[in-house]
């Protein structure tokens, strides 16, 4: 029996995006540039340490960019690169799929 091989690029993409919180961080940044605390506050149960780690990983992969503004106090914002913005259609498709197939408790929908 011939078993098809997994595409190495697809496998790498899934490894990156399947890390806990990664997709939610990228999705949050589709709203535009944001500061660390805004991202942290927008995703319940995400610790600052994990957010910091994920932001570094995403920056290394070229999905986000970190901009440092030499103001007093220093302002740092994170935004999506072209590579990161190319993920937006996936979120639209997942949202459509979730609306059709995922049930949530009424109390969770109000949050």
For the chain, give every domain's residue range: 6-96
Are 54 and 60 within 8 A, CB to CB? no
pLDDT in tens, 47-61: 999 999 999 999 999
pLDDT in tens, 62-104: 999 999 999 999 999 999 999 999 999 999 999 999 999 999 8
What the block records as the tokens of 80 is 């999506």
> Span 6-96: which CATH code?
1.10.10.10
Its pTM stands at: 0.88
Q: What is the pLDDT of residue 3?
A: 74
């Amino acid at each position: 029996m011939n078993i098809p091989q997994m595409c190495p690029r697809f496998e790498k993409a899934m490894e990156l995006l399947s890390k806990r919180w990664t997709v939610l961080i990228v999705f949050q940044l589709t709203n535009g540039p944001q500061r660390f605390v805004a991202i942290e506050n927008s995703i319940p149960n995400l610790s600052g340490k994990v957010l910091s780690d994920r932001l570094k990983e995403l920056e290394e992969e070229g999905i986000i960019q970190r901009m440092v503004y030499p103001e007093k106090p220093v302002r740092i914002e994170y935004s999506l690169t072209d590579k990161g913005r190319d993920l937006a259609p996936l979120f639209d498709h997942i949202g459509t799929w979730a609306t059709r197939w995922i049930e949530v408790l009424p109390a969770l929908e109000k949050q």
